[in-house]
Amino acid sequence: MGYSVMNRFVGALRSCQCRVIQGASGYNGAITLAFLFAAVAATNANAQEFQEVHDCDQHAAHPSDPHRWAGGVKDNEIIPGPAVTFCRRAVDEHPQTPRFAFQLGRALWAANRIDEGTELFLALTEQFAYGPAYYYLAHVFVSGLGSVEADEERGKALYQTAAEKGFAPASQALRALAEANDTTRVDTLAASSGTTAPSAPIERLSAPRSAVDHQDISFEPDQYTQPSMVRALYSGDLAGLEPQGVGQTNYAGLSSAHIYLASFHNQFGGTVNLQDQSCVTLYDPSVTRTLDAKVARLITGGPGLDLESSLDQAGRRGWEMMGDLLMDLHRGGLDALVSTEQNLLELGEQGGIDAARLIARHGCQSEVAKRIYANIRAYALGQPPVLSPQEQERQQSILNREAEEAERERQQSLRTDAAASCFSQWQEEPMCQCIVAALDHLKITEGEWRMIGNEFTSVVSLVRRYEGLREDLGSCRS
């Protein structure tokens, strides 16, 4: 639908004094002839889709859109200014190319113009049954944005439709919702509502509300798909970032933990976060850039290398990865190799699911979420982690034990040196061991241990200072 047509539709919709009807399922919507006028106007446009890469594609295509003509840009990486300009122009010039309207909707959301973007998504589902648009409309109902009451079942039905139309993120969203609600089946979610878009247009939407205040909910790592990973992020024990169930955890330096954390982190991004708007106050774009750059450095050797050196480094990394893959193949055959790949893909999905669960359970302003996000940032940027009180106590206990062990070793070294000095003087090992034990019992000072370690005959100077030492020396020599 052309943007000029959409403008007429929006204007008519907002000016129409039609009666607001309460539907049987409780959804509020305006029944208006303006929607029909817009549909008729759109059918008069040229039916030929634009079959070339446009600036709009470069700035706002979705990475998972099966209809995209460019690599795609994540929601949180869209630059609103040029994206809105290019996509508005594309919609005006090619009104029968639905991907442009979808991309304009994404650009408008990135600019925090939620109402305009949502109206575009709604029109896309009505006019073109455009799969990815159902996904964004599902967010509206799941989160209850603007004037629309939250209705998770209707949101699930829209996610289901998007998934059926090949939009992969919808399947992930369904899984997250199903698991969050302890639901084991999601294939019947659309039964009650069908798989079509809402029949009642949405009049106006504002930016997402922040998540409601969360009560103090205890942190339970077993609620997540990767308990050990979430536990390590919560505690600050970044050495414990070891995903479970993925087979080999490192291919030529590329850690599977990195895959999980990159997906986890992306759930906090975007100008608009549909789970909890306060998440955007935590989000640090440099973390995404750094995580992505780590992969690039692993492959090319990083900045500072000339082209030839970078290519050489990439070749070496490629051979290293090939070697790791061949070892998998040797150990478990082709099935093991395929299984590892599937596990890594699933691990990326688990990162997104666990982040969604964290936000839903605790909210982004909770101490739990803040600490976990801070430790993702610490991992990415190589900074010291934020430790939980329990982890602080555990690590301090470890430091204390290590310090005690180091002191025991140091003290033992003083006595060993003293015994060696004695043996070099008299060549009598049993006697020297006896004398050292006697001196230890008398608790001579560290300086005195060093003195007799350097010259054992100086032990006689201690006789006057320590009562009973003369008798001990005589006893050891007899």
Please, what are the averages of pLDDT over each run of 10 residues along the chain (478 residues)? 34 33 28 32 51 93 93 89 92 93 92 84 89 90 71 87 90 81 41 34 36 60 91 91 63 68 82 66 82 56 44 52 56 51 75 88 89 92 89 89 93 93 90 92 92 90 89 87
Q: What pLDDT score does 463 carry?
A: 87
CA torsion, points 192, 195, 200, 206, in degrees to nearest 10?
Answer: 110
Cα atoms found within 13 Å of the Cα of residue 50, Cβ hemisphere only: 23
Q: What pLDDT score does 434 carry?
A: 93
How confident is the model over 91-125, as pLDDT tens digits?
999 999 999 999 999 999 888 888 788 889 988 98
Q: What pLDDT score does 183 carry?
A: 38
Would you state the structure tokens that stand for residue 47, as one six-digit string?
Answer: 């039916």
Q: What pLDDT score does 329 carry?
A: 53
Q: How far apart are CA 278 and CA 362, in angstroms?
A: 12
CA angle, residues 372, 376, 380, in degrees to nearest 5: 165
Task: Using DSSP bridges, classify how beta strands 20-22 and 28-30 pair: parallel, antiparallel or unpaired.
Answer: antiparallel
Closest CA to 358 of 348, 372, 345, 344: 372
Tell me the Cα Rg of the chain.
34
Q: What pLDDT score does 241 carry?
A: 84
Q: What pLDDT score does 282 carry?
A: 83
Contacts of 173 (CB under 8 A, 6+ apart): 135, 138, 159
Q: What pLDDT score does 126 carry?
A: 86
Q: How far apart are CA 375 and CA 241, in angstroms?
A: 11
pTM exceeds 0.95 for this model: no
First-residue to last-residue Cα distance in the chain: 109
Helices (H), 52-151: 55-60, 80-93, 98-110, 114-128, 131-143
Contacts of 58 (CB under 8 A, 6+ apart): 70, 86
Q: What pLDDT score does 268 carry?
A: 83
Would you state the structure tokens that stand for residue 398, as one six-digit string?
Answer: 């470890």
The amino acid at residue 125 is: T
Q: Are 219 and 234 in contact (CB under 8 A)?
A: yes
Long-range contacts of 46-49 (CB under 8 A, 24+ apart): 46/94, 46/95, 46/96, 47/96, 48/96, 49/94, 49/96, 49/97, 49/98
CA torsion, points 81, 84, 86, 89, in degrees to nearest 10?
Answer: -140
Q: What pLDDT score does 6 carry?
A: 33
Q: Does domain 3-180 have CATH number 1.25.40.10?
A: yes
Contacts of 281 (CB under 8 A, 6+ apart): 364
Domain ranges of the chain: 3-180, 222-387, 391-477
